[in-house]
Structure 1
Amino acid sequence: MSSPTDQQLPQQQGPDAGSPASGSLNTKDLRRVLGSSLMGSVIEYYDFILYATAAALIFDKVFFANLGPGVALFASFGTLAVGYVARPLGGILFGHYGDRIGRKKMLVLSMLMMGFATVAIGFLPTTAQIGVLAPVILVTLRFVQGISVGGEWGGATLMALEHAPAHKRGFAAAFANAGGPAGGLLATFVVSGVSAATGDQFLVWGWRIPFILSAVLILVGMLIRLKVAETPVFQELEQEAARRQQKQRTPLMDVLRLHPRVVVLTLIASLGFYCCQGILTSWGVSVAVQSGVERSDVLNLKGVAAVFTIIVCFYTARLSDRIGRRTVLTIGGVGGILFAFPALYLMHTGAVWAFAIAVIVGNGVIQGFLAGPIGAYISEQFPANVRYTGASLAYQGAATLGAGFTPMIATALVMLAGGSYLFVGFFWIGILAMGLVAVRMSREGAELSPKRH
């Protein structure tokens, strides 16, 4: 069901991610590129997801303690949503310059911005110390985080995908996507370790340590990222533009004018992945703690689930190189629909084993199926000259609607239903069903051959 615009993609692309330019890299160079994409994403998402963990367990008590428990948690999740609102803007800004002056420059800038915002949160005075100014500054720093991570994903994905051979693009792009759960894993274990070490002082000053530690990670990440070369695809685009003496483009206008259908389909297709994340790893964490599961157990199990997500992510990404992105995404979507209500029931029991099943199967396996091929799936829908902008706009738009607002929506739906999670289940299934339809309406981007079927 591809539109005429979709069918013209190969001609519009110019240099493609599977062009011979990618073959000029030796194995060592390719390993460096993939390692840089993974490490950079780990650091960015450590910072970003660290905030999500703090929003679920800490900030309602530190910055909104003057509100009632339910309202304080809602307000805390509201600051979390600010970062997701900023992500599409970050995707547009970084995508614009990433498509015009290069992927690498934007990745260096995004890491610097994220490091500044995260460390600043670690030193931020509480509401008890400076009043309402504290949550105002917190929201501002969260906005900067959102801009940064909004530009990170597209650049990290394209650095990997555009360096890789055509038949390994799915696997290569997964290195950027795996940075999300890996960064979440690191953030979870750091918070858990600091919580255990500081005990009763955790909510007083201990929570600041994981944020301040980001400075060390940023320094390591910058040393790695600066050694990686610009992608061969972008280099060819620059050379082609110079030969033709082309005028400076506006990638966003090109995307919206030539590829609006692709933007909508890829955005909807990505919603299921982020809805799972929002329900299971943000809202579900607070539900489990409120239901009686120990905070340390919740954080540790969340970390274990992240390990499963990383493993499944790489497996399904490689699988998508063989059987197609759409097939793998369909399996994940169907699995999510079937597991939605069982997961919600398990999260509300108050039993450690029940939460373990919910988060490992839901976040580890199902989200892994959705996360593995999503980077390559989205990127391959757009031509190379607007790929950073188009892919970032769709993916970050889904992040905003899916993960950014899902915890707030779930909290509101539970209150609306008088404490029942019935509405949350229907909401979750509806998002996954929409994603399935969008995936099936998209074209297949993987370059499959009979040998790989």
Structure 2
Amino acid sequence: MDKDKDLRRVLVASVVGSSVEWFDYFLYGTVAALVFNQIFFVTEDPAFGTLYAFATFALAFFIRPLGGIIFSHIGDRIGRKKTLVLTLSLMGLATFLMGVLPTYGQIGLWAPVLLILLRLIQGLGLGGEWGGALLLAVEYAPKEKRGLFGSVPQMGITIGMLMGTIALSIMTLLPQEAFITWGWRVPFLLSALLVIFGLWIRKGIEETPTFQKTQEKGDIPKLPIADTFKYHWREVLIATGAKVVETAPFYIFGTFIVSYGTQNLSYNQTSILMAVTVATIITTILMPVMGSFSDKIGRKKLYVGGTILMILYAFPYFWLIHQGSVALLFLATIIGLGVIWAPITAVLGTMFSEIFSANVRYTGISLGYQIGAAVAGGTAPLVATALLIRFNDSYIPVALYIIFTALISLVAIWTVKDRHNEELDEDLVTVEDKAN
């Protein structure tokens, strides 16, 4: 088999599956801000309807660590590839069913209950997807291109968001009543086609060389979660803390802004969604550039630099969007989501992979990533909305919240050794070695 062709297929498989998963996931976040507070979470005060909608957005983040545990167990025991098929199928089914779900006006309380159930299923699927997609790329990568390869599945996050944003931007061009009634459902239903394509592209991909070597050595743990917490609990804490700055500001810039901009700053939905779209295109282009750059200077330097910029940008971001100018809204979103966030997310997954041993790597990176996402990601729009309500629509507490998340991550990453010049498993002993 042509090695270069095989590597290209691996990269395509990792980014396509990841993109489909995140497309499904982000649809919910954006529609929660625009529609669900009106047809599923019906209250007299629109602000509280939005708060409830974002609360269900956050619920999936809390279930993601469980999904990470379940599917990473399968991934470390049976293999990366089989796990990815399961997670993609689960996500796709849940998203399609959301598109046909009756509203509160049709079936009453059962509508939000069923919506929450499907959202939790989405969370379970995504909890296992990310780690597998990342390892599919990283464990196939040559040492000198590991940062580049590791950034490719990260592109799935923004590609998925981009597809979701474009789909909803088109649908918001409908009359408001048509969009609320049926327009928002179209992207959910079309996601079924994307899932079929994602499953097809992953067909024929062999198991990663690293996992095959682990199998050959008989180094498969019986209970990966137990071994991870016993021998790699420090790495899990580091990964959890490092994830915080990558996830909280992202959901402020990309999801919270939709409700905040329309309800508090009088921007129209289309302008905000287009600003997010442009910023997402830019960060998607920058990710492989940053990943490749990390192969030259190291992951940690890029990550720390991006985090410091995030601290410095928190207040200027809100000042810019408060000027009431659509041009400045675009500029603010492009700087935050398009430029500053790119180096942080591009190196995150590769950096996680380099601190865990191969036999528990799927479990380790999934736990750190998903716990961090649960603590700071899904709660970000909820916390930001609650802070606005508590402090009379002042953005100062929200800006301080962004700074706080960055400081947590800087502390977490402080002791991490940059391993970009080392083989993936060099100097990392196995669980059995540690036990002896």
Q: TM-score, normalised by structure 1?
A: 0.91
Q: RMSD of aligned C-alpha atoms? A: 1.4
Moved more, 273-282 or 69-78: 273-282
> Does 1:369 pair with 2:365?
no
Compute the displacement of 1:158 (Å).
0.1
Moved more, 59-68 or 204-213: 59-68
Compute the displacement of 1:128 (Å).
0.4
Distance in 1 of aligned mates of 2:150 and 2:388: 37
Compute the displacement of 1:191 (Å).
0.6
Compute the displacement of 1:262 (Å).
0.9
Distance in 2 of aligned mates of 1:392 and 1:26: 28
Aligned partner of 1:385 among 359, 372, 375: 359
Aligned partner of 1:228 among 186, 191, 205: 205
Amino acid aligned to 1:252: I
Paired residue for 2:172? 195
| Local SS of the residue matching 2:314 | helix
> Does 1:429 pair with 2:406?
no
Mapping for residues 8-23 of structure 1, pairs under 5 Å: none
Aligned partner of 1:331 among 284, 302, 305: 305
Compute the displacement of 1:345 (Å).
2.1
Paired residue for 2:97? 120
| Local SS of the residue matching 2:267 | coil
Paired residue for 1:9? none
Distance in 2 of aligned mates of 1:146 and 1:266: 19
Aligned partner of 1:97 among 70, 74, 80: 74
Amino acid aligned to 1:328: L
The alignment of Structure 1 onto Structure 2 pairs a total of residues equal to: 422
> Does 1:257 pair with 2:226?
no
Shift of the 133–442 alpha-carbon distance from structure 1 to 2, 3 Å rule, reads: same
| Local SS of the residue matching 1:442 | coil
Paired residue for 2:382? 408
Distance in 1 of aligned mates of 2:94 and 2:283: 27
Paired residue for 1:267? 240
Distance in 1 of aligned mates of 2:314 and 2:210: 40
Aligned partner of 2:114 among 137, 145, 154: 137
> Does 1:286 pair with 2:286?
no
Amino acid aligned to 1:254: D
Aligned partner of 1:307 among 267, 270, 281: 281
Segments ≥4 residues shifted beyond 4 Å: none
Distance in 2 of aligned mates of 1:72 and 1:207: 18
Task: For residues 121-159 of structure 1, give each alpha carbon's deviation from its aligned partner in whole angstroms, at most 9, with x where no partner exists.
Answer: 000000000001000000000000001111110000000
Compute the displacement of 1:225 (Å).
0.9
Aligned partner of 2:14 among 30, 37, 40: 37
- Structure 2 unaligned segments of length 5 or more: list them: 424-436
Assess if the C-alpha contact under 8 Å between 2:238 and 2:413 holds in 1.
Answer: yes
Distance in 2 of aligned mates of 1:166 and 1:304: 33
Paired residue for 2:429? none
| Local SS of the residue matching 2:10 | helix
Distance in 2 of aligned mates of 1:182 and 1:225: 18
Paired residue for 1:10? none
Amino acid aligned to 1:287: Y
Distance in 2 of aligned mates of 1:111 and 1:192: 25
Task: For residues 261-289 of structure 1, give each alpha carbon's deviation from its aligned partner in whole angstroms, at most 9, with x where no partner exists.
Answer: 11111111111010111211111221111
Paired residue for 1:447? 421
Distance in 2 of aligned mates of 1:127 and 1:138: 10
Compute the displacement of 1:445 (Å).
2.4
Aligned sequence identity (%) = 40
Distance in 1 of aligned mates of 2:192 and 2:271: 27
Assess if the C-alpha contact under 8 Å between 2:221 and 2:359 holds in 1.
Answer: no
